[in-house]
Amino acid sequence: MTMKKNLIDFIDISKSYDGNLVLDEFNLYVRENEFVTLLGPSGCGKTTTLRLLGGFETPDTGKILFDSVDITNLPANERKLNTVFQKYSLFPHMSIAENIAFGLKISKKSKQYIEDKIKYALKLVNLDGFEHRSVDSLSGGQQQRIAIARAIVNEPKVLLLDEPLGALDLKLRQNMQYELMRLKEELGITFLYVTHDQEEALTMSDTIVVMNQGYIQQIGTPEMIYNEPENAFVADFIGHSNIIDGTMIEDKLVEILGVKMACVDEGFGKMTPVDVVIRPEDVELVKPEDGYLTGEVTSLIFKGVHYELDVMANGYEWLVHTTQYVPVGTQVGIRVIPFNIQIMHKPESSDEKAVEIDE
């Protein structure tokens, strides 16, 4: 199997605003035809990363390579990429066709070429025949598709998307996620996507880059990020987790909340303070006498496909997802199989660089 080459390289990028360091010696590569999502809370540096690549900002230090060419100081309009923002930035006084053709007209393409491209782009985003409609006549989801159509007619090598689905309702957002995945496959374009929505990132991405405080916390596939978080921040940010102070007694044995439990992790030494991460769906509720520890159900919420419970046990409020109906006040036992107990080092500081990027 041929290894895809790097299309984008961020090399030792640092960026500050008014003395506030937003990116600190940031390094990242993106391969051709990859759907990469930058995921993290507000202020983590993800949108700044996108703006640097788009040419809307310049780094203080470091350089950006595109197809092995240094584009750090190249004007935005000379870069082979297009950006789709959360605010669609459509021109209300123009028809749909005129909006889509805007970039092509600037490039002085022929009238026939432009007409063909408009039809092609509208078909791709499932809006055939909308050429002469006004922007105001469209729903939010339709406007977003037009913004995407306007970007893809320019045949960019890379499409940058900055929280493009944030203004849509849940059902429409889910539909657009599948549309974007389909477009990526059909067009062979590289996508760099920014969001703070974990479900969006897990659904669409080939690779997720979890960021916090200007640092990359972890890079990996959605499955890897969810099932094998590198640290407590990633575990807590991706989905829900029980994160408990623990002590690694020895290899494959950890103590949490005064109870020793078997696990599968090794190499942490003996009597080492650790963070223990257990996903809510991995907590088994059993009869009190069969559990590693016992507790009481203090809260019950029906979530559709499962119940979400709070269980107070050994001084810790456990979050539990289960298909069982367990009324508030019920005494239960808690069990977790060794494979579902994730052990991780405690960070030395809140902004510790959590991961070295593996080639």
**CATH class of residue range 6-227:** alpha beta
Q: Where are the beta strands (DSSP E) in 251-304?
A: 253-256, 259-262, 272-278, 284-286, 293-302
**Tens of pLDDT along 27-76?**
999 999 999 999 999 999 999 999 999 999 999 999 999 999 999 999 99
In degrees, rounded to 5, the angle at the alpha carbon of residue 83 between the alpha carbons of residues 23 and 112 is 160
In whole angstroms, what separates CA 74 from the centre of its chain?
28
Specify the domain boundaries for CATH 2.40.50.140 within the chain. Answer: 241-345
Q: What is the CATH number of domain 241-345?
A: 2.40.50.140
CA dihedral 331, 337, 338, 342 (to 10 degrees): -70
Specify the domain boundaries for CATH 3.40.50.300 within the chain. Answer: 6-227
What strands lie across the sheet with 215-220, from one edge to the other? 81-85, 158-162, 190-195, 35-39, 207-212, 215-220
List the pLDDT tens digit at each of the 359 positions of the chain. Answer: 556 789 999 999 999 999 999 999 999 999 999 999 999 999 999 999 999 999 999 999 999 999 999 999 999 989 989 888 767 678 899 999 999 998 888 888 899 999 999 998 898 888 999 999 999 999 888 888 898 888 888 888 999 999 888 777 778 788 888 888 988 888 889 999 999 999 899 999 999 999 999 999 999 999 999 999 999 899 989 988 999 999 999 999 999 999 999 999 999 999 999 999 999 999 999 999 999 999 999 999 999 999 999 999 999 999 999 999 999 999 999 999 999 999 999 876 544 444 433 33
